[in-house]
Structure 1
Amino acid sequence: MSVAVPSARGRVRAAVVPYPLIVGLLGVAVLLSVVVATGVGPVRVPAGEVGRILVHHLAGGGDTTANADLIVWRLRFPRVLLGAVAGAGLALAGAVVQSVVRNPVADPYLLGLSSGASVGAVAVITTGVSVLGALTLPVAAFAGAAGAMAVVLLLARHRGRLLPLRLILVGVTCGQLLGGVTSFLLVSTQNSAAQQQIVFWLLGALSGAGWNVLAVPAAVVAGGLVLLTVRARRLNVLVLGDEAAAALGVDASRLRLELLLVTTLLVGTVVAVSGGIGFVGLIVAHLARMLVGADHRRMLPVTAGLGALFLLWSDVAARTLISPAELPIGILTAFLGVPFFLLVMHARGLAADGAP
């Protein structure tokens, strides 16, 4: 099947700059940003020295006793990489959710995924359970997201089909309920340290990044990008609506289920290691469409790259704006996301007639 449904305006914009050049420039920007961002902090490390340290370790060299080596390799580089991975994952999830529910202002929060992950993580923090050691909180967060998605999928089915409007309504309702559960767990605990940890985690934080937590989300996001890119042609068809998809031989309900399962895996894994970071998918997916058009074969890789850049630099701002203290990264993404949401809503005429 060879189907692509970018808008006419999207095709014109994409033709201005060749797509391979856009991807190449984006890749270079991500690599340079990783090096520069690693050197930014209370103790600044020049980009040249950061590059030498990274090359030394990546070439198989061992740790040194230099303070710069400790700061770069042990502390900041894993955090910067995790920010890039988390940003790419959340951006991809947002792009897919918007296409699945055919709503331009959708993101993973709309389907209750992030709320479910928060319930799982907060339950672990408040109870102090550590059955799996350091993996307990990530596993609980992922289980919460998966459980929320299972409930939403069960309640959103109508005569064996998944309908976009029902997905939104059920997702928003479940998200509100799960948010109430999270708030109850927060206020019911008597542990003030746990309360502080919960609040900071709910607003998003990458301060706990380390080499031990990087491999799993990196593998999941990379695998998710590959799976979604393989399904990009069918995702293009899904945007046209169920009847058009059926006419082209695509089972819209089954495809929607597959895409939502991949999205759940992405969101659950990312939220498990970074907390609740909102608006990334909403902002970045729109920027990617503006840059390369609506064809998911072109848009998804660009979305991942832009998401990595966006969250990487948001984290840099979070750890430097009020240094030596640190802002939860979700505060910054909310400051950017809410105005962007309102602009998109106004541009699309959602306030007037509810149509995307």
Structure 2
Amino acid sequence: MGLLGLLAATLIASVSLGAVTVPVDVVWTAVAGHLGVPGVHSDPISDQIVWTVRVPRALLGALVGAGLAISGVVIQAVVRNPLGDPYLIGIMPGASLGAVSVIVLGASAVGGVGLSGAAFAGAMLAFAVVFLLGRHNGQWPPARLVLAGVAVGYLISSVTFFLQTIATPNQVQRVLFWSLGSVAGASWEDLVTLSVVVLAGSLFLALNGSRLNALSADTELTATLGINVARFQLLLMLVVALVTGSIVAVAGGIGFVGLVIPHIARLLVGADHRRVLTISLLLGAVFLPLADIAARLLRAPAELPIGVITAAVGAPFFLWLLVAGSGRRTRTRVTRQGRSPRAIEPAPPPRWAQGRSARHCTAVLRGQDLPRRRGLRGGER
């Protein structure tokens, strides 16, 4: 309930704050008038700002954040890599190539589709190539899938960089702004289309949290539960590709959300995916509108790309994880209660092992006898 309340407050703040601040009571009047509340009449100018521009933008930001966050959880579980995100399986680089092709070469060069259509097609094509290359013996081993994603991502990025070298300065500016992401151009049409994809995909992923626990732990364990591992992996990643591809097509290449939010969720509720998926979805829906508010206010009346804010928050967070985790071993317990990860300090060696070599201690534990060494007291070995 706390996260739901925080989400509601964030959405209200996102509608109210900006280059022009709209009072909360005016926001309520404009929204209530469109929802059919009797006796409420909004001002036409406020109605234009609130209902036509800011409400779709706030809701789109929440959808984008939720979709990227829950997709990041699934990718990290499937590839068993804490750095897993849509970049890792080629979706972001593929979408960037499609969008840059339209910006630099024109829509006619990519079959007459628009910017969003080209970005979605590029994302799906890159995803298909990664999964074809990552397949081995009818399955998708995590290490092979990661290597395929990295290789395809670098190859696609090289083509994207080449297109930028032949672009005009105005086109380069458009490419840069798109690649860092924004929800400034939100419309009700985009919101309706994206909401169907994100909500349906998120519901499917959330319902498979227990299976995802088994898959992230061990492939053989998943098979013993009667789950077709290869089919389940493919289905999960196909849903993730559809969700993230649709998001990138509408909002551009927003980074770090799918990478950072899953780790924050695990710190809060543990490693049980039945909880992590839901909490990540809510955290993402809160985080991205907050980042959008910062992008609007820091250079008002101009706007920063939202990816600048997410990177500025995400990079220090990972540095904090690195510093906080140094010098100790972290053990994550996946239990039915979903306990939090516990940091366990290494215990000091027993008295009999102090000052002894690793070979000596191993032999003692195995019950073997070692020849006495010069200088040891009787009975010590």
With normalisation by structure 2, the TM-score equals 0.81
Q: Which amino acid aligns with 1:32?
A: A
**Structure 1 pair 245–280 and aligned structure 2 pair: CA distance change class (3 A):** same
Q: Is the 8 A contact 1:63 1:69 kept in 2?
A: no
Q: Give the 3-state SS of the residue equivalent to 1:195 in structure 2.
A: helix
The answer to whether the aligner puts 1:32 opposite 2:9 as a matched pair is yes
The structure whose RCO (Cα within 8 Å, separation 6+) is larger is: 1
**Structure 1 pair 46–335 and aligned structure 2 pair: CA distance change class (3 A):** same
Distance 1:60 1:144 in 2: 44
Q: Give the 3-state SS of the residue equivalent to 2:299 in structure 1.
A: coil
The answer to whether the aligner puts 1:93 opposite 2:71 as a matched pair is yes
Which runs of 5 or more residues in structure 2 are unaligned?
Answer: 330-381
Could you give the per-residue CA deviations for residues 295-333 of structure 1, whole angstroms, max 9, x where no partner exists? Answer: 222221211111011001000000110111111111111
The answer to whether the aligner puts 1:205 opposite 2:182 as a matched pair is yes
Q: Give the 3-state SS of the residue equivalent to 1:107 in structure 2.
A: coil
Q: Which amino acid aligns with 1:116?
A: G
Q: Is the 8 A contact 1:152 1:174 kept in 2?
A: yes
Aligned length, in residue pairs: 327
The answer to whether the aligner puts 1:186 opposite 2:172 as a matched pair is no
Q: Which amino acid aligns with 1:178?
A: I
Matched ranges for 1:112-191 at <5 A? 112-129=90-107, 136-190=114-168
Deviation at 1:137, TM superposition (A): 1.6
Distance 1:133 1:70 in 2: 35
Instruction: Tell me what 1:21 maps to.
Output: none
2:35 counterpart (55, 58, 61): 58
Distance 2:276 2:318 in 1: 20
2:287 counterpart (287, 310, 335): 310
1:214 counterpart (191, 204, 215): 191
Distance 2:35 2:159 in 1: 44
Distance 1:131 1:178 in 2: 17
Where in structure 1 do 4 or more consecutive aligned residues deviate above 6 Å? 60-63, 130-135
Q: Which amino acid aligns with 2:292?
A: D
Distance 1:226 1:58 in 2: 26
Distance 2:81 2:182 in 1: 28
Q: Is the 8 A contact 2:93 2:123 kept in 1?
A: yes
RMSD of aligned residue pairs (Cα, Å): 2.4
Matched ranges for 1:320-331 at <5 A? 320-331=297-308
Distance 1:75 1:287 in 2: 31
- Higher-helix-fraction structure: 1
- My pick for the range that moved more, 40-49 or 307-316, is 40-49
Distance 1:94 1:28 in 2: 24
Distance 1:348 1:116 in 2: 34
Distance 1:346 1:221 in 2: 35
Q: Give the 3-state SS of the residue equivalent to 1:110 in structure 2.
A: coil
- My pick for the range that moved more, 286-295 or 129-138, is 129-138
Deviation at 1:63, TM superposition (A): 9.0
Deviation at 1:342, TM superposition (A): 3.4
Deviation at 1:127, TM superposition (A): 2.3
Could you give the per-residue CA deviations for residues 6-58 of structure 1, whole angstroms, max 9, x where no partner exists? Answer: xxxxxxxxxxxxxxxxxx22122212211121010111111122122111112
Q: Is the 8 A contact 1:130 1:136 kept in 2?
A: no
Distance 1:95 1:54 in 2: 34
* Structure whose CA Rg is larger: 2
Q: Is the 8 A contact 1:89 1:307 kept in 2?
A: yes
1:268 counterpart (224, 245, 252): 245
Could you give the per-residue CA deviations for residues 73-127 of structure 1, whole angstroms, max 9, x where no partner exists? Answer: 1111111111111000100110110101111121111111111111111111222
Deviation at 1:168, TM superposition (A): 0.8
Distance 1:60 1:171 in 2: 51
Q: Is the 8 A contact 2:29 2:42 kept in 1?
A: no
Deviation at 1:346, TM superposition (A): 5.5
Distance 1:311 1:113 in 2: 19
Q: Is the 8 A contact 1:282 1:341 kept in 2?
A: no
- My pick for the range that moved more, 92-101 or 244-253, is 244-253
Q: Which amino acid aligns with 2:78?
A: V
Distance 2:32 2:190 in 1: 22
Instruction: Tell me what 1:47 maps to.
Output: 24
**Structure 1 pair 121–159 and aligned structure 2 pair: CA distance change class (3 A):** same
Deviation at 1:60, TM superposition (A): 7.3
Q: Is the 8 A contact 1:105 1:345 kept in 2?
A: no
Identity score, percent: 46
**Structure 1 pair 127–205 and aligned structure 2 pair: CA distance change class (3 A):** same
**Structure 1 pair 348–145 and aligned structure 2 pair: CA distance change class (3 A):** farther
Q: Give the 3-state SS of the residue equivalent to 2:186 in structure 1.
A: coil
Q: Give the 3-state SS of the residue equivalent to 1:290 in structure 2.
A: helix
Q: Give the 3-state SS of the residue equivalent to 1:205 in structure 2.
A: coil
